[in-house]
């Protein structure tokens, strides 16, 4: 399956709901008036885009319609797609140019961190990078074993300590190993469930301190993993983590199982943090580097030059 067909496939539920709602509004209007904008805004909000972003999209739509002189409601669809693609674009490339580079993966329990790390290790390995994993979710033995399984699948090395050990010490060892083994990228897993938020954030800042000391001058990505099926709750988590930890990118998982994929637009627009990857399934190749244009096309069911 080509990459684009895969995104299309993964976004099927979102597209049916999102494009369905928008199309319905556009079909029922013959002229462009304020009522049309209101209906469009409403359908965006219902698609989990978020209130603020839905308003931005409609304001921009008004501006472009004025500018282009579009009079046909059906043409509004094309403008809307352009606006959304534009909003999602920029910064999606991983910043991992130094050797080693570090990717710290954070997020609440169950969003798909460990699975994403396995897929990401596979993706980066296939792009010729030497990857090393750090099992810094030491909260449960099962979490370490789960990462080990993914390391084996992706064919990469892993640094692990025993259950309950200090996560920052795992990260320290992973960075030392990366240097001595000449790894290109170190990806560190973290725990998502500690007994309270302060506890979790303290642990993350301790890890970040180790990284800035031991990987001085190296490229560091702090990727927040969010579960798309949780809709507006994902947006709330993004706000909280952005405030507490310096996130550099977002991975949105489980788009395959939800109609709430519109939340991608809200997160990107409101937080101004780039989406780096999207998860569209549980298999090792079900993680896609994010492409704004492909995403917008898939959302509106458009063909690209690629074989379908």
DSSP code for 184 = S
Q: According to CB under 6 A, which one of 6, 56, 160, 254 is a site residue for ligand GDP?
A: 254
- Cβ neighbours of residue 3 closer than 8 Å, sequence gap 6 or more: 288, 294, 306
Q: Are 133 and 174 a contacting pair, CB within 8 Å?
A: yes
Q: Number of C-alpha atoms within 13 angstroms, CB side, residue 286? A: 18
Residues of this chain, 204-233, that bind Mg ion according to CB under 5 A = none
Tell me the closest approach of the beta carbon of residue 12 to ligand GDP, in angstroms: 12
| Rounded Cα–Cα distance for residues 123 and 111 (Å) | 19
For residue 31, the tally of other CB atoms under 10 A from its CB is: 9
Query: Contact between 114 and Mg ion (CB under 5 A)?
Result: yes
Stretch that binds ligand GDP, among 84-92, 156-164, 204-212, 280-288 (CB under 6 A): 280-288
With tokens 């959304």, the residue in question is 84
237 interacts with ligand GDP by CB under 6 A: no
Site membership for ligand GDP, residue 288 (CB under 6 A) = no
Site for ligand GDP in 188-217 (CB under 6 A): 192
* 57 versus 120: smaller Cβ distance to ligand GDP: 120
Which residues within the stretch 124-143 sit at the binding site for Mg ion (CB under 5 A)? 143
Residue 14 touching ligand GDP (CB under 6 A): no
Of 281, 294, 295, 298, which one interacts with ligand GDP (CB under 6 A)? 281
Among 113, 129, 160, 268, binds ligand GDP (CB under 6 A): 113
3-class DSSP state for residue 186? strand
Least spacing, CB of residue 281 vs ligand GDP, in Å? 5
Kindly state whether residue 283 participates in binding ligand GDP, applying the rule CB under 6 A: no
Which helix (H) or strand (E) is 157 found in, with range?
A: strand 157-159
Of the pair 256, 269, the CB lying nearest ligand GDP is at 256
Applying CB under 6 A, does 256 fall inside the site for ligand GDP?
yes
- Please, what's the b/e burial string for 176-200 (b: 16 or more CB within 10 A of its CB; e: otherwise)? ebbeeeebbbbbbbbbbebeeeeeb
Cis omega (within 30 of 0) on the bond before 232?
A: no
- Positions touching ligand GDP (CB under 6 A) are 107, 109-115, 192, 253-254, 256-257, 279-282, 286
């Amino acid at each position: 399956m080509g990459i684009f067909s895969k995104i299309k496939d993964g976004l099927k539920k979102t597209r049916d709901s999102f494009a369905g709602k928008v199309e319905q509004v556009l079909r029922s209007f013959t002229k462009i008036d304020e009522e049309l904008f209101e209906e469009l805004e409403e359908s965006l909000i219902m698609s989990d885009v978020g209130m603020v972003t839905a308003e931005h999209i409609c304001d921009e739509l008004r501006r472009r319609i004025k500018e282009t002189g579009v009079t046909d409601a059906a043409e509004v669809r094309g403008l809307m797609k352009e606006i959304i693609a534009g909003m999602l674009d920029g910064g999606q490339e991983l910043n991992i140019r130094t050797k080693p580079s570090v990717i710290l993966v954070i997020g609440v329990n169950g969003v798909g961190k460990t699975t994403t790390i396995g897929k990401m290790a596979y993706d980066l390995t296939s792009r010729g990078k030497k990857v090393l994993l750090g099992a810094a979710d030491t909260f449960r033995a099962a979490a370490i074993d789960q990462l080990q399984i993914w390391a084996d699948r992706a064919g990469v090395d892993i640094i692990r300590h025993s259950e309950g050990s200090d996560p920052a010490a795992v990260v320290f060892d992973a960075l030392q190993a990366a240097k001595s083994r000449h790894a290109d990228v170190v990806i560190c897993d973290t725990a998502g469930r500690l007994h309270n938020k302060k506890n979790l954030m303290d642990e993350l800042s301790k890890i970040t301190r180790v990284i800035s000391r031991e990987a001085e001058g190296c490229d560091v990505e702090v990727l927040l993993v969010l579960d798309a099926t949780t809709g507006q709750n994902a947006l709330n988590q993004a706000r909280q983590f952005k405030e507490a930890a310096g996130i550099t990118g977002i991975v949105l998982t489980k788009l395959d199982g939800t109609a709430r994929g519109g939340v991608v637009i809200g997160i990107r627009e409101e937080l101004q943090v780039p989406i780096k990857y999207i998860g569209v399934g549980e298999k090792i190749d079900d993680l896609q580097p994010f492409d704004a244009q492909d995403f917008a096309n898939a959302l509106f069911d458009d063909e690209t030059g690629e074989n379908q």
